Amino acid sequence: MTTYFFFGKYTQDSIGHISSQRTKEARSVIEGNGGKLIGGYALLGEHDLVLIVDFPSMEQAMKTSIALAKLVGVSFSTSPAVSMEDFDKLVG
């Protein structure tokens, strides 16, 4: 499994539809595409939210990013991540 960070930016329309139900639906999309939600956070600054998700493949992460954008109206920038331990092994 690879960890991905989904950085989201709300649109004016998506802000009006924020709800716990929409969060449940987003989790269902993630799990339905083979992902496991590790954590999610609301942010202040350049991005409005971040989801941290494990996926078996890049294709599943990409499919989920698009499905979430369609579902919640949030534009996502998705980045793969490597743990510091794995990073140290790669460069050491």
Position 12 scores a pLDDT of: 85
The one-digit pLDDT tens for each residue of the chain (92 residues) are 899 999 999 988 888 888 899 899 999 999 999 999 999 999 999 999 999 999 999 999 999 999 999 988 899 999 999 999 999 999 98
pTM for the predicted model, two decimal places: 0.89
Position 19 scores a pLDDT of: 87
Element (H, E) at 42: strand 36-42
Which architecture, in CATH terms, is 2-78? 2-Layer Sandwich (3.30)
How far is residue 88's CA from residue 23's CA, in Å, rounded to a whole number? 35
Position 13 scores a pLDDT of: 85
